[in-house]
Amino acid sequence: MAEPSDIAEVIKAVQDDITTIVRGEVALVADEIKGEAAKAGIIAGLFGGAGYVAISAIAVLFSAFAFAWSIGYQAWFGLGILPALFWGFLTMGVLMLLIAGLLGLLGSRAPKPGAPTRSIEDAKEQIAFVKETISQASADAAAQPILAPRTKQPELG
């Protein structure tokens, strides 16, 4: 028959095992999320690169190509210098926004990070195991007769 101190030891052992399982699951999730975070970092880098390229292109090439368009508008349509500059800069602005949109589209189509499926499945298995163990331990404990607490015998003498 099981002694009350044995049951306390079993409960303590189960608690220790559950703590170990939970710590292992947390470590597994952390390892799996690191890989997914790397994918998210790549996507963020693509979007950051799109923004950087858009700003750099606007700062460096915008003026040069806008002036080139302006010269074209002046020659093709016989416009004065101010209307030609307006249409040249407007055309260049629209083109640079199209390029930035294309880079953003490429970033949005990159592979997305997924859920930690392996960790989720492992956690479900662990939960099922713990539930089964608890129900089995409960059934075993119910089958054991409850012992009356021991009373200390008075010492003679």
Instruction: Give Cα 146 to chain centroid, integer Å.
Output: 50
The pTM for the full model equals 0.39
Is 133 a domain residue? no
Torsion, Cα of 76, 78, 83, 89 (10° steps): 20
Model confidence pLDDT, tens digit, residues 65-110: 888 999 999 999 999 999 999 999 899 889 889 989 999 999 888 8
Is 102 a domain residue? yes
For residue 60, pLDDT beyond 80: no
Angle between helices 4-77 and 117-143 in degrees, nearest 10: 160
Structure tokens at 86: 């307006």
Given pLDDT bands bounded at 50, 70 and 90, which one contains residue 23?
A: confident
Given pLDDT bands bounded at 50, 70 and 90, which one contains residue 9?
A: confident
Is 143 a domain residue? no
Query: Is the pLDDT higher at 126 or at 105?
Result: 105
Is 56 a domain residue? yes
Question: Domain of 35?
Answer: 13-126
* Start-end of H helices in the chain: 4-77, 81-108, 117-143
Is 145 a domain residue? no
Q: How many CA atoms lie within 13 A of 127 on its CB side?
A: 6
Is 89 a domain residue? yes
Structure tokens at 99: 């390029």
